[in-house]
Amino acid sequence: MSGRPRQNGPAQAKALQFKLVLLGESAVGKSSLVLRFVKGQFHEYQETTIGAAFLTQTVTVDGVTVKFEIWDTAGQERYHSLAPMYYRGAQAAIIVYDITNRDTFERAKSWVKELDRQARKDIVIALAGNKFDLSNKRMVEVEEGSAYAQEHNLIFMETSAKTGDNVSNVFVEIAKMLPKVEPKPNNNGQTVRIDDNQEAQNGGGPGCCSKN
Amino acid sequence: MKLEKEEYGFDWPPSFDKDTHWRYTHKRKLTDLERVAEWDALNGNYERSEALKKLVRKGVPRKYRVDVWLSISSAGQNMLENKGLYNNLTARCAQKETTDNMKDTSGECVIDVIRRDLLRTFPENPSFKEPVMLNNMQDILSAFCLHRPEIGYCQGLNFIVGTLLLATQSKDGELLPEECFWLLVALVDILPDYHSNKMTCLNNDCLVLNDLIRKTVPQTHSVVSLFGLPLQMFVTKWFVCLFVDVLPFHTVLHVWDTLFYEGNKILFRVAVYEFVLHKKELKKLQDPSGLAMFFRNLFWDNKAWDDFEYMQKVFKKTRKLKRKYIEHKRITKASETEV
Ligand SMILES: Nc1nc2c(ncn2[C@@H]2O[C@H](COP(=O)(O)OP(=O)(O)O)[C@@H](O)[C@H]2O)c(=O)[nH]1
Ligand SMILES: [Mg+2]
């Protein structure tokens, strides 16, 4: 089975499309991160995701527009068997844990291992320690997350879907790592712009420690 | 002007302007009057018959729904034969010795998992901010875990229990938790094993649906398969939540009327009809992203707001679908995936 050819040939110089999947234990904030990134909103009570939800959002990095096709998955263990359907062929993944809950960090590690084995070899993975705003209840130290990420060659950030800290940065960092058909050689124009997103000014908030 | 919520406390679709809204409520009032008169005439006699089946297909009026659901499913009988069991289960769920042993597959205490989903069930509906609603939801889901440990808690059951509580709530707001518990048990028994640990039956039924679509609405199937995405990516929720959060709330209840009476084949009929109904839109889709958006936006599609008309069409357009065929497909699909 092969997909219909994408309509973004070099002639059109249209947005590059990338499939991105969110993985992680239930209630770590996957849906909230997506909602923040796509709509700039946060809901204290975010509806439980059943199966998976689909959203899109574009970012412009160094003059190249990248469209993310985002699959936000269900977190409960029994939905695990559905996950491969969503990460199959994905060019990027965000694995999310909740910094106030150790078990979710362990679960995140097992996702990293699973993607290493089963996803595309060139998949770009980001590890996000979410709920940074609750860092007074932290159970996983920043150093621990970042060391694990470094060891496994992952982008790493602590994020808060609630305040917006680092949320768009995760996507931007991923976008930077993705292969561009027409690479723009000028690296000086660091004009990272996030479309339709109130959080654009939000820069590297506290707890940001992107690798590279 | 923002319209107030619909009768169950949900938002109207954003596309509803004042006119559409008025026309819809007006028409609904008329159909409801008609339905109620027909059910009044039954005098509480819900014995199975062709006539009753026909009536159920037209939708059970809100005021009769609890009684009808209890008597056309196994729930009423079970509740009578197991007097006190529900209270006993909830009492045990309040004891630490019991809950310590109730683990989700992740190893976490299942009560905690349930509790976390309470406020994540219909958050836009004001009823689901009320402590009594949330407490009852927790009680029913926990009792169910104890009663059916092989299933336990599956995300999605929170929406099913929430739907049962709302649907059976009396006019003055009284909730019927024990009835809802038995209705939940009845529903799970009507379904193949969708909600249990590995969800294998769920995956299997998605594959069956895929074949059904290919056979009955081939034009749309070829579009979907052209993108190389398994249908299952989009329809999992349809089966797990029995169309809750996929179709308008009152239409879901109408689907459930027939689900309780006729069994799980109705899920396939509704699912196939969704493809028939949206044939044109589906054929126009250009890429996988459009396809995914299409499924996401189904909920806000006005075509299912008139539940009466919608369900009449479901039955008309899918009348060739035979239970035998589904059962046969279930077996062949299951053996294919085993290899
Ligand atoms: N304090 C805080 N709460 C969050 C954050 N992100 C999500 N939440 C809350 O955590 C709960 C679960 O979030 P959700 O996005 O549904 O998690 P998911 O199951 O991984 O999709 C919700 O009640 C959110 O409001 C965050 O960054 N900070
Ligand atoms: Mg979610």
Q: Do B287 and A76 touch (CB under 8 A)?
A: no
Signed CA dihedral, B38, B44, B47, B48: sign only? positive
Q: Which amino acid is at A192?
A: V
Chain A closest CA to B252's CA: distance in Å?
Answer: 17
Q: Is the pLDDT of residue B136 over 70?
A: yes
Which tokens belong to B192?
A: 């193949």
- Alpha carbon A165 to chain centroid distance? 13
Segment among A78-87, B2-11, B75-84 with least mean pLDDT: B2-11
Considering CB atoms only, which of A6, A17, A51 is closest to B240? A51
Q: Is the pLDDT of residue A11 over 60?
A: no
Report residues near ion ligand 2: CB below 5 Å.
A 30-31, 49
**How far are the Cα atoms of A179, A206, B248, B330, B331 from residue B324, in angstroms, in the given order?**
51, 61, 30, 10, 11
Of B271, B43, B240, B72, nearest to B157 by C-alpha is: B240
Q: What is the pLDDT of residues B254-270, one digit of tens each?
A: 999 999 999 999 999 99
Q: Is B117 on the interface with A (CB under 8 A)?
A: yes
Taking contacts as CB-CB distances below 8 angstroms, the residues of chain A near B292 are 54, 69
pLDDT for B129 equals 96
Chain A closest CA to B64's CA: distance in Å?
Answer: 30
Averaged pLDDT score across all residues of chain A: 84
Query: Which residues in chain A (138-197) have CB-CB distances under 8 A to chain B?
Result: none
Q: What is the pLDDT of residues A168-203, one digit of tens each?
A: 999 999 999 998 764 444 443 333 333 333 333 333
Q: Where are the beta strands (DSSP E) in B55-214?
A: none
Query: Among residues of chain B, what percentage have pLDDT more than 70?
Result: 99
Segment among A10-19, A119-128, B99-108 with least mean pLDDT: A10-19
Query: Which residues in chain B (257-286) have CB-CB distances under 8 A to chain A?
Result: 286
Q: Which residue puts its alpha carbon closest to atom 28 of ligand 1? A: A131
Q: Is the pLDDT of residue B277 over 90?
A: yes
Give the mean model confidence (pLDDT) for residues A84-99. 96
Considering CB atoms only, which of A1, A54, A79 is closest to B296? A54
Q: Do A1 and B158 touch (CB under 8 A)?
A: no
pLDDT for A1 equals 34
Considering CB atoms only, which of A46, A54, A81 is closest to B293? A54
Segment among A193-202, B132-141, B171-180 with least mean pLDDT: A193-202
Are B105 and A77 spatial neighbours (Cβ–Cβ below 8 Å)? Answer: yes
The verdict on the CB of residue A129 being under 6 Å from ligand 1 is no
Point out the ligand nearest to the CA of residue A24. 1
- Domains belonging to chain A, first-starting first, are 15-183 (3.40.50.300)
Q: Do B227 and A3 touch (CB under 8 A)?
A: yes
pLDDT for B222 equals 81
Neighbours of A37 (CB within 10 A): 25
Taking contacts as CB-CB distances below 8 angstroms, the residues of chain B near A31 are none
Give the mean model confidence (pLDDT) for residues B219-227. 80
Signed CA dihedral, B4, B8, B11, B17: sign only? negative
Q: What is the pLDDT of residues B93-124, one digit of tens each?
A: 999 888 888 988 888 899 999 999 999 999 99
What CA–CA distance (Å, rounded) separates B215 from B210? 9
Give the mean model confidence (pLDDT) for residues B56-80. 97
Which tokens belong to A100?
A: 């106030």
pLDDT for A164 equals 98
Query: Among residues of chain B, what percentage have pLDDT more than 90?
Result: 72
Q: Do A51 and B116 touch (CB under 8 A)?
A: no
Mutate to test the interface with A, among B287, B295, B297, B298 (most CBs of A within 10 A): B287
Output the CA angle B238-B174-B38, nearest 5 degrees: 70
Taking contacts as CB-CB distances below 8 angstroms, the residues of chain A near B196 are 78
Q: Is the pLDDT of residue B164 over 50?
A: yes
ipTM for the complex shown: 0.91
Task: Identify the residue with better confidence: B1 or B151.
Answer: B151
User: B116 to chain A: nearest residue by CA?
Assistant: A27
User: A18 to chain B: nearest residue by CA?
Assistant: B289
Segment among A135-139, B308-312, B335-339 with least mean pLDDT: B335-339
Q: Do B296 and A53 touch (CB under 8 A)?
A: yes
Q: For helices B249-262 and B177-190, what crossing angle results, to 10°?
A: 60
pLDDT for A184 equals 44
Segment among A13-17, A33-37, A177-181 with least mean pLDDT: A13-17
- Alpha carbon A32 to chain centroid distance? 12
- Domains belonging to chain B, first-starting first, are 18-68 (no CATH), 75-190 (1.10.8.270), 200-338 (1.10.472.80)
Give the mean model confidence (pLDDT) for residues B301-306. 85
pLDDT band at A4 (very low <50, low <70, confident <90, very high): very low
Chain A closest CA to B229's CA: distance in Å?
Answer: 8
pTM to 2 decimals?
Answer: 0.90
Taking contacts as CB-CB distances below 8 angstroms, the residues of chain B near A46 are 120, 123
Chain A closest CA to B22's CA: distance in Å?
Answer: 29
Query: Among residues of chain A, what percentage have pLDDT more than 70?
Result: 78
Q: Is the pLDDT of residue B84 over 80?
A: yes
The verdict on the CB of residue A162 being under 6 Å from ligand 1 is yes
Output the CA angle B240-B312-B243, nearest 5 degrees: 10
Q: Is the pLDDT of residue B219 over 90?
A: no
Give the mean model confidence (pLDDT) for residues A104-117. 97
Q: Do B236 and A50 touch (CB under 8 A)?
A: yes
Output the CA angle A55-A56-A58, nearest 5 degrees: 155
Considering CB atoms only, which of A27, A53, A85 is closest to B230? A85
Point out the ligand nearest to the CA of residue A32. 1
Give the mean model confidence (pLDDT) for residues B156-178. 96
The verdict on the CB of residue A30 being under 6 Å from ligand 1 is yes
Give the nearest ligand 1 atom to A25 CA. Answer: 20
Considering CB atoms only, which of B197, B233, B245 is closest to A78? B197
Return all residues near B220 (Cβ < 8 A) that are at least 6 apart.
Answer: B213, B275, B278, B279, B282, B283
Q: Is the pLDDT of residue B2 over 50?
A: yes
Q: Is B203 on the interface with A (CB under 8 A)?
A: yes
Residue A66 pairs in a beta bridge with A16, A59
Return all residues near A210 (Cβ < 8 A) that are at least 6 apart.
Answer: A155, A156, A157, A169, A173, A204
Q: Is the pLDDT of residue B148 over 90?
A: yes
